[in-house]
Structure 1
């Protein structure tokens, strides 16, 4: 099969298109013929080696974290899917590889594709949808009537999180540039801070939840918009000891992670705020629930550009540029 691989770690190293063997299928896995693959910033970060200590991929490996496609084979223990099913997924860590023609995915990490979406639209969803779901539903336990601040409303996670929070009955604030203000309001944002004109720290206050996806400076400012007892959930770091425990990190990695987040955790404690780090995990059951929301019309996909498979490197560069409104997708077949 044709695939785009990381030959060696490096921020400026282009992915190489090459022929790779079809993935070996484990007993609890499904072999999927990929029709479309979503592109995410984590693809760039993994290529650059930022996660080598917690996700030790051995080069060469196939990159890519989102897919929509058709089941071509099932393992002997698989019961939920059959050949011919149209599916979507974010494969498990250490089993990624969606910038390719085929991928093996655990049954528990797979769901039937929303019936009302194209393959390209479906491929745009899994990673950002699961990130928003696990942040707002699982960690924040967001309730109707609460106030949530979702940063970078025009980004992949932001566009989904705004819609999900609004569906849950929350009041939603977000940040974006001048040209996107009306656009994110149409997605469901109640209050939009134009970051080119205003500082969100000065205009927002008393929020129950903040979903942080930006840098450390923004993280520090976010503490000041939360009420006492509020929750700050970050998907961009620093990681916390609970995450180190969750991934069963080696002792020395746990120590490093604890030190990296120590300052933030101390400041959060002084503010009376609960701080936590989210590193999204694969989950087919949640994707099934998300598919129901999409099919009901509560949430719609936001796809900026679709690139042909041959231009996978260009698609990744476009994501890195930060100009995308919503998601970038590769049409594999």
Structure 2
């Protein structure tokens, strides 16, 4: 293979996992403010299969910016190969990780090399490998921006008011619905880091896993309804969404809040009557916040759970695994070291 080309996964059409093509393409050139990253691992996220399935417009956008063929993917961990002249803070050989160009479908991470905005990157924690680092950016930053610090003043496409995280401490009880998934298992650990009591809701197969991460109480949604067992909750973080998400409002104490990571269905009169609030946000790339999360990862305070790994060439199998559901942590693509 020429040094001017690389292997990447591209979409030439939308459809099922079978439309993911592993092929040879040009190596990208880093532009102003960018570094070229030799990719070692790529995190697999819902926007990847949304794009594959035909969604080409991000919430808040008025028109699509996607043109086929396109390389999907946003979460990357790798090694800096080249640095644009105007970039400071990164050098060739640095190990980095990041969430690239989000919210957009222009991350282009399913590849051996990617041109990445330096502002989207942070130094990879030395205490974790590239696979675990690649599993952290989108899910970890989503949990961080919902629970700890939004970190930006961009308007949310989901609501007029800005999102404000709830103060978390030893007097706070947090319920995490979908606690075993990517965002959920980060949210659980970040809430525990802040001292909160955490109730984890997931299927029974994940009970031991979530207990190891620090959950104070576990509810198996296949056997019980959380809204019938949990009461006087300060904050519900719902990573599942859907038409039944409003049922968690009944678990909240007056003054409590439900944070909707995925869209749900809520009634303003009901929330006003209950004296609670519903809020959402849209995760955005942030190398600065990722550096903060990276310190927790390096110390072992927060851990990245890996559901499964697949070679980049087997991206189809990774998407098929995602479609099966009941994911514990993150799915990651691995990229062989380039000579």
* TM-score (normalised: structure 2): 0.87
What does 1:289-308 align with in structure 2 at a 5 Å threshold?
289-308=292-311
How far apart in 2 are the matches of 1:196 and 1:41? 23
- Residues 1:53 and 1:157: Cα distance change in structure 2 (over 3 Å): closer
The correspondence for 2:131, drawn from 90, 112, 120, is: 120
2:156 equivalent in structure 1: none
> What does residue 167 of structure 2 align with?
142
Q: CA deviation at 1:284?
A: 0.4
**Which has the larger share of helix?**
1
CA RMSD of aligned residues (A): 1.7
The separation in 2 between residues aligned to 1:266 and 1:9, in whole angstroms, is 40
Name the residue aligned to 2:70. 61
Structure 2 residues not aligned, in runs of 5+:
1-5, 150-163
2:270, 2:332 → 1: CA distance?
38
Question: Quick one: distance in 2 between partners of 1:265 and 1:159?
Answer: 29
Match of residue 256 from structure 1:
none
Q: Secondary structure at the match of 2:77?
A: strand
Matched, 1:285 2:288: yes
2:226 alignment partner in structure 1: 200
Aligned positions of 1:23-102 closer than 5 A: 23-50=28-55, 52=57, 54=59, 56=64, 57-93=66-102, 94=104, 95-102=106-113
> 1:33, 1:70 within 8 Å by CA — same for their partners in 2?
yes
- The whole-number CA distance in structure 2 between the counterparts of 1:268 and 1:60 is 44
Q: Which residue of 1 aligns with 2:25?
A: 20
Q: What CA distance in whole angstroms lies between the structure 1 residues aligned with 2:113 and 2:271?
A: 44
Matched residue, 2:154: none
- For residue 326 of structure 2, give the secondary structure of its aligned residue in structure 1: coil
Q: 1:171 to 1:20 in 2, by over 3 A?
A: same
Q: How does 1:115-194 map to 2 (within 5 A)?
A: 115-138=126-149, 139-145=164-170, 146-194=172-220
Structure 1: gaps of 5 or more residues = 239-260
Distance 1:31 1:268 in 2: 48
Query: How many residues of Structure 1 are paired with residues of Structure 2 in the alignment?
Result: 310
Cα deviation for residue 12 of structure 1 reads 5.7
Q: Is the 8 A contact 1:304 1:328 kept in 2?
A: yes
Q: CA deviation at 1:325?
A: 1.2
TM-score after normalising by structure 1: 0.88
**C-alpha contact (below 8 Å) 2:305/2:328 kept by paired residues:** yes
Q: Is the 8 A contact 1:142 1:170 kept in 2?
A: no
- String of CA shifts for 1:150-206, please: whole Å, max 9, x gaps: 111211111111111101101101111222212211111111101111000101111
Partners of 1:31 and 1:71 within 8 A in 2:
yes
Structure 1 residue 97: deviation in Å? 1.2
Structure 2 vs 1, CA of residues 211 and 203 (structure 1 numbering), >3 Å: closer, same or farther? same
Q: Does structure 1 conserve the Cα–Cα contact (< 8 Å) formed by 2:257 and 2:276?
A: yes
Deviates more, 1:321-330 or 1:66-75: 321-330
Residue 322 (structure 1) aligned to one of 320, 325, 335: 325
